[in-house]
Chain A
């Protein structure tokens, strides 16, 4: 199956003509009650308008489950905060994307509550609801105004061939045409739609749960109980099995001396990822339950900034226990990112990254990685006209050594506008 067949055979999400009207109505309905109960209320908004050209496949590889894509023609992010009292706020974020399917718009809503200084302890804070990504540090920068590059690191979105709603009969599943490299496309399985494969960490999809977090003397911690897992958040707001996921990070940020601002940390996440309905699948192993199969992700982050320079890096390894598949599937990924301000208006940035999958062996004795290894680099040149308006030129080059049709280049010109 070549790239075009994959695209045309896949489930294509198209925006509903009336979807954005519905979206506007829904946002209004949700915002009005906040204004009634809040002591203070604020809304911020941002929009990106992108012209991109290059290989179709290079664009498609940036697509997420709901069709959203950082290179979409336009994207909006509307966020609100209702301050109830000094320590309690309700947040709501609504992403709107030209490429996303409006039929899944409801899963886009990101409401959560934040309670700070619980019991008067400055190091103890609580968040509950649909939680911003807990794993690693990219989540804090995932808002497009916080990153210099247009694309999202592969670690945080690139869909592998591992899925939570398919039970392979054996290792041979990963040797079928279109499975490797097709993780970003929904497929049909047992006459029903199967959604896209799992990335190491899925930043765009916020899981439902509760999180304790805080910082004291430079030590940062975060511990969350969620319905899904780091690779497979519970997108519909309903748990897909009886297991709960745990995600946490502990880190340190130096607060004095020559290494002021050096930040590093370790993250971990584990939980059951398979749909419970898979237990009735003919391929599901007898005597097992969906909760017996876990998705575990471990990672580390390191960042530093000084003067006009910023450096970010992360490495992570995600594992998937897949029924009837041996050994456990692994993917190891990394990214390193360097940003250089060139005065108040100009900046340049570059990121190098990759994902590498472990080998499995088919029934005929063929050994290969269970998905295609992929590497990518991206660069951007940005110009800030004024606070809240930025134009950036981005270039992205994706390299898939074992599937040249998935390799490609993308050039994009993006205008960003945002309010405080």
Chain B
């Protein structure tokens, strides 16, 4: 009884379950191919000063998320991740939001960008706006939204809209850490660049305290 009351109190005050655990692990993805060379003969004034390092060698960009097998309540108040446009790249290249979440598209460049998407689950066109300005986009449905810049064809980003409230973007080695996960049973799903749909890769049980580990591989053993 005391624990239940404490849990409710914590949830009310911090919005975090009292017995939140953590899930860590590695999703082994295929290696990322070296990025394509930007073959732009004409944009001599558009050359970014210092494009971010996107050299090959790391794993494919990917996302892991946990679907509750009982009741996954997506909180009403969600943080709004920012997808910046910097040196003619989307930074970060992948953002994750739960269905119904919003993403802020910021322009930090001295030049125009024009973010748009033709993905069936969310089509939008933000037009051209100046440095320092941003636009908010709501993503009501789960799925993967590929975003482009109408002016710089080499710019590609992904908004991964998940039907879950616990998720993480994999780092270059495929490691992840998802914190504040209420105890319970979860389905583990992943998405990686090149996949058309989310893929369920297993199940994990989050204890009332401590961490659970889940590791999977999507690398073809051949």
A residues with a Cβ closer than 8 A to B are 40-44, 79-81, 83, 91, 93, 110, 112, 114, 116, 122, 125, 127, 132, 139-143, 145-146, 213, 215, 218, 220, 222, 253, 255-256, 260-261, 305-310, 341, 343-345, 384-388, 418, 420
Q: Is the pair A140, B42 in contact by a Cβ cutoff of 8 Å?
A: yes
> Which residues of A lie under 8 Å from residue B40 when comparing CB positions?
81
- A116 x B47 contact (CB < 8 A): yes
Report which of B34, B42, B111, B123 forms a contact with A345, defined as CB distance below 8 A.
Answer: B123
In the complex, what distance in Å separates the CA atom of A309 from the CA atom of B127?
A: 8
Taking a contact as CB atoms under 8 Å apart, the answer to whether A132 and B45 are in contact is no
Instruction: With A125-B44, A305-B112, A344-B123 as known contacts, state yes or no: A42 contacts B37, CB within 8 Å.
Output: yes
A76 → chain B closest CB, angstroms: 14
Query: By DSSP majority rule, is chain A's interface helix, strand, loop, or mixed?
Result: strand
Across the interface, do A42 and B36 meet the contact criterion of CB distance under 8 Å?
A: yes
With A43-B39, A420-B36 in contact, is A306–B44 under 8 Å at CB? no
Interchain CA distance A262-B216 in the complex, whole Å: 51
Q: Let me know if B124 and A420 touch, CB within 8 A.
A: no
Residues from chain B with Cβ under 8 Å of A145 in the complex: 153
Known: A80-B39, A140-B42. 9 other contacts (CB 8 A): A40-B34, A42-B38, A81-B40, A261-B112, A305-B112, A305-B128, A307-B128, A343-B125, A420-B154
Is the beta-carbon distance between B127 and A260 smaller than 8 angstroms? no
State whether the Cβ of B130 lies closer than 8 Å to any Cβ in chain A: yes
* Inter-subunit contact A81/B125 (CB<8 Å): no
Bound-state CA distance A215–B46 (Å) is: 9
Q: Which 3 A-B pairs have the closest CB atoms?
A: A42-B37, A260-B130, A307-B127
Minimum Cβ distance to chain B for residue A309 (Å): 8
CB of B37 within 8 A of CB of A41, answer yes
Query: Provided the pairs A127-B44, A343-B123 are in contact, do residues A81 and B117 lie with their beta carbons within 8 angstroms?
Result: no
Measured between alpha carbons, how far is A136 from B114 in the docked complex, in Å?
Answer: 23
Nearest residue in A to B109 (C-beta to C-beta)?
A255
User: Looking across the interface, which residue of chain B has its beta carbon closest to that of A114?
Assistant: B44
Which B residues lie within 8 Å of A420 (CB)? Answer: 36, 38-39, 153-154
Q: Are A260 and B116 interface neighbours, CB within 8 A?
A: no
Report chain A residues within 8 Å CB of B116.
344
In whole angstroms, how far apart are the Cα atoms of A256 and B131 in the complex? 7
B41-A79 in contact (CB<8A): yes
Question: Does B199 lie at the interface of the complex (its beta carbon under 8 Å from any beta carbon of A)?
Answer: no
Chain A residues in 8 Å Cβ range of B132: 256
Residue pair A42, B118 in contact (C-beta under 8 Å) = no
